[in-house]
Chains A and B, each alone.
Chain A
Amino acid sequence: MELQIDRISKTFKNNGRPHPVLQDVSLTVGGGAFVTLLGPSGCGKTTLLNIIGGFLEATSGEVRLNGAVVKRPGPERGFVFQDYALFPWMTVRENILYPLKQQRWSNAERAQRLAQLLSMAHLEGKEHLYPSQMSGGMKQRVAVIRALAPMPKVLLMDEPLGALDQHLRQSLQEELESLWETDGTTVLMVTHDVDEAVFLSDRVIVMSTDPGNIAGDISIRLPRKRDRNGTAYHAYKDQLTRLVHSSGDFPGTARMASAR
């Protein structure tokens, strides 16, 4: 599996004036790796993910999946949304089965996949709950296994843990890691949290702002079940933090200073 992002540029109109958000971004991910797009808000990382997902059209450039150009959303690219986008009128079970019905899986295959996913996410017995009956952490796990259900070639996640508090976030990072290890899909995740990026990623792509581009591509070579207190872990965090800060105006630094 290979997802190729080839010289993607995106320009929005801002009060009639063109505002480039992404400029010539090229990137290749694949091989079951967990890859993170890290950057300050406004660096266009979500825009890039939406272009890969097919929800937004690039001004120029191409996204290719195993060599074939993709332009529209499709089940071979699973997507986890920031606000989960679980269908509130469907139970956990119906939400997870929805993509499988669209792919015309047989009833037996559906039942088998459902059981497998529920056990992967430790959600056995919860399949009849509606989203309104679930905690934020549960919704998040359902959103991930729903996206994984039709066995996508790549899983795209837009700040999947962004809506959760710090404590829950860390335990769900571990959940996410074990889901990914069981499933084996290539993951491309957007986050602004340096610790999350170091904990989860094989590779961290740091993005810069104005216009968005790749400022660094760092491989995290640490054995898994990573120790958040290890020295090497902290060295990576420091390296990435410096890279993020030097690559964009952060609120409180450059932008504020220039405003004064």
Chain B
Amino acid sequence: MNHTVLVCDDAIFMRTMISDILSQAGFEVVGEAESGLQAVEKYRELKPDLVTMDIVMPDMGGIEAVREICKTDPDAKILMCSAMGQQALVVEAIQAGAKDFVVKPFQPSRVLEAVQRVLA
């Protein structure tokens, strides 16, 4: 069975792009969230195998969302999506429980490598 993914980003552009990369690689995108709050709710509802999480989002940022999700599921497989220069935030997200990260602009191969590591 294909792995299920929840894509969280406040920009439709990014969500579409990530969804495309992952769908073409055989993943099943089961949900999208445009805020941290939604990400937490959808995670609980959908129990996806993988989450991609933008750091900066309205209504609870990505890091807080990671913390919330990991509170109930410490093994949640969350991949952070970060922009250049956000290293401190990425470190914080990792300490909150994120399992790996990719840096924008995305190269499909890089994204898939990170996804494989997280799901390994």
B is bound to A: no
Question: What is the interface of chain A, defined by CB distance below 8 A to chain B?
Answer: none
Question: What is the interface of chain B, defined by CB distance below 8 A to chain A?
Answer: none
